[in-house]
A = this chain, B = another copy of it.
């Protein structure tokens, strides 16, 4: 039976990739529009390609270096020989996910703009198809990597289940490293360009967003693709794969090496792909649809997929895992529900249809300082609801899975909850990823001078995208917390395995000074990380501002529309600064767990991981929600409230939005990756730390 199980995972992966291919063809079948649109799209595409090329060459150097280090460690017997290779493939597939997503997005932007000339619904279809390519590429490549390695390790190298999951956790580390580079680098690029363009264009020169006279406008659109698309793709690849392999690893531990417990998370992911594909067919509306109807259509798709996987998971647990373990099904459901609830909470706090964001917009009446204070407060307050949701999900998942009798089962349950949450990633990511495509389409419509109603339609799509992105972020953050907890458990298993046999889950009391200090240091890491990435955005944005101001001053006739700005200069500036700035944060994420381990031992490492998970979860939600609320408060004012566009209130709201940009699109989402990368690095270097450490 086991052989059929992996076959099923493989088929799921191919289904996803095939579906992505069909969607890609569908996108490419649409018309690109006018020559001007084509030209703009081409410059965005070439800017994005140039960025990714340079990013990948830097990342490749990093991977080469890490590969050598891992080889050396393997030579000293501290790792198996699979680890260096698994590490590299994880990075490769993660990067590939982002690349494919970005590629299709840069082909879909002018097509979406052109489709919007016909109608809102057609525009949605193009953009959503592009989003689907990304969504299903991510899950398809994720399961492909998993099933290939599983097959190799089990059937070619005859490894034991625990050896298999051990090697697989390493490709998680590769995926997370790549994801962090992509998120941070892309996040800095997109926000530096965005902030730079807005600060000079909107605030100082008083020209509208995406005005072709703004020298940073192409960079801004390139940024949407390298950050919000390529970065997000790599990020969610990492989340998806991380949740599956950590659950598999804990399954092996709980079920004493039973391969079935390891297969269940993988098959659940494969089932989720089928459910997601079915869901996409229900995302359609009549020709003359309003925004609300469109949202309903998207919701119908994601909800249907969630319901389907909720149904399908039951027989999976019952027949594959065994009927005596049927209560683990409820852990999966707890995860699914928690994901949905966190999404709703995010929406409540950041959508302008609810009170918090409306109140925030009202604070613009007293200037930018009060809207900043209000937004920070809103974000901090909004952490309470997801914390309670995650706490409840952990409690339920742990105890229904039998954690009271044996913690291994409880932890497996928590990991399954994360898989449940992410199982329908194919479609949730599709509804999320189409947003940046619509955003780009709007930019192209503006620059190409299309009819105003086109821009209105792309704006409607874009703002719809903000709402679905909120749901997507809920899943990403919630699953990150659960996966991180599962990875801490995996780390402890690993510590036992490599020599510290007297260690158990009970060995890590918060009153132990090493655990406690680890907790402090770990909790500090997300703060430092957020600071570094925000500073990076600030620095990069400042250089863009200076350049844009320079062009406005020195290029004659630019403001009158008689001369073209030097777009490429801004793209190049963003590329260079974001690539320079992405290195330090990522290196910190890799070096700190090793140093903490060498000084404080594994007790300190577990404290650090727990601290980073808890504070990272809080900080990620705080920053994402503050940023989202500022963005939507600004949009709410632009819709004609509190004085509308151009008023002092609007200017105050633009300041809020600008502050929120790096919060929600650079620092916030990177923290999700950080907390998992810390665990994975710790796992890979566990043997080193257990053998060499100063305290403990």
By a beta-carbon cutoff of 8 Å, the part of chain A in contact with chain B is 195, 199, 203-204, 363, 365-370, 372-374, 376-381, 383-384, 387-388, 390-391, 394-395, 398-399, 403, 407, 410-411, 485, 488-489, 492, 505-513, 515-517, 519-521, 523-524, 527-528, 530-532, 534-535, 537-538, 541-542, 545-546, 606-607, 610-611, 614-615, 617-618, 622, 654-655, 658-659, 662, 695
Instruction: Given A394-B517, A517-B391, answer yes or no on A510-B607 (Cβ-Cβ < 8 Å).
Output: yes
Contact across chains for B378 and A531 when beta carbons are under 8 A apart = yes
Contact across chains for A377 and B509 when beta carbons are under 8 A apart = no
Specify which chain B residues have a CB less than 8 angstroms from the CB of A519 in the assembled complex: 510, 610, 614
Residue from B512, B528, B534, B614 in contact with A523 in the complex, judged by beta carbons closer than 8 Å = B614
Contact across chains for B199 and A370 when beta carbons are under 8 A apart = yes
Contact across chains for A373 and B524 when beta carbons are under 8 A apart = no
Residue from B505, B511, B614, B617 in contact with A492 in the complex, judged by beta carbons closer than 8 Å = B511
Contact across chains for A395 and B545 when beta carbons are under 8 A apart = no
Contact across chains for A520 and B391 when beta carbons are under 8 A apart = yes
Contact across chains for A374 and B535 when beta carbons are under 8 A apart = yes
Contact across chains for A618 and B517 when beta carbons are under 8 A apart = no
Contact across chains for B538 and A374 when beta carbons are under 8 A apart = yes
Q: What residue in chain B is nearest A204 (Cβ atoms)?
A: B367
Contact across chains for A524 and B618 when beta carbons are under 8 A apart = yes
Specify which chain B residues have a CB less than 8 angstroms from the CB of A506 in the assembled complex: 506, 509, 511-512
Q: How many copies does the complex hold?
A: 2
Contact across chains for A505 and B513 when beta carbons are under 8 A apart = no
17 contacts between A and B (CB under 8 A): A195-B369, A370-B545, A370-B658, A374-B535, A374-B538, A378-B531, A381-B532, A394-B513, A488-B510, A489-B511, A505-B512, A510-B515, A510-B606, A510-B610, A519-B610, A523-B614, A523-B618
A666 CA to B188 CA, complexed, in Å: 32
Instruction: Given A377-B538, A380-B531, A527-B383, answer yes or no on A655-B369 (Cβ-Cβ < 8 Å).
Output: yes
Specify which chain B residues have a CB less than 8 angstroms from the CB of A403 in the assembled complex: 513
Specify which chain B residues have a CB less than 8 angstroms from the CB of A546 in the assembled complex: 366
A662 CA to B374 CA, complexed, in Å: 11
Contact across chains for A520 and B381 when beta carbons are under 8 A apart = no
Contact across chains for B395 and A513 when beta carbons are under 8 A apart = yes
Q: How far is the CB of A528 from chain B (nearest CB, A)?
A: 5
Q: How far is the CB of A185 from chain B (nearest CB, A)?
A: 17
Residue from B366, B379, B387, B538 in contact with A373 in the complex, judged by beta carbons closer than 8 Å = B538
Specify which chain B residues have a CB less than 8 angstroms from the CB of A655 in the assembled complex: 367-369, 372, 655
Q: How far is the CB of A335 from chain B (nearest CB, A)?
A: 15
Contact across chains for B511 and A384 when beta carbons are under 8 A apart = no
Contact across chains for A527 and B618 when beta carbons are under 8 A apart = yes
Contact across chains for A614 and B615 when beta carbons are under 8 A apart = yes
Residue from B511, B517, B538, B542 in contact with A407 in the complex, judged by beta carbons closer than 8 Å = B511
Of listed A204, A372, A527, A528, residue having the most chain B CB within 10 A: A527
Specify which chain B residues have a CB less than 8 angstroms from the CB of A380 in the assembled complex: 527-528, 530-531, 534
A521 CA to B654 CA, complexed, in Å: 33
Instruction: Given A489-B511, A506-B512, A542-B370, answer yes or no on A377-B531 (Cβ-Cβ < 8 Å).
Output: yes
Contact across chains for B516 and A505 when beta carbons are under 8 A apart = no
Q: 11 extra interchain contacts, Cβ-Cβ under 8 A, other than A398-B513, A509-B510?
A: A203-B367, A365-B542, A373-B538, A376-B534, A381-B528, A394-B517, A410-B513, A488-B510, A510-B515, A524-B618, A615-B618
Contact across chains for A381 and B659 when beta carbons are under 8 A apart = no
A29 CA to B126 CA, complexed, in Å: 82
Q: What residue in chain B is nearest A522 (Cβ atoms)?
A: B614
Contact across chains for B387 and A524 when beta carbons are under 8 A apart = yes
Q: What residue in chain B is nearest A545 (Cβ atoms)?
A: B366
Contact across chains for B527 and A373 when beta carbons are under 8 A apart = no
Q: How far is the CB of A614 from chain B (nearest CB, A)?
A: 5
Specify which chain B residues have a CB less than 8 angstroms from the CB of A658 in the assembled complex: 369-370, 373
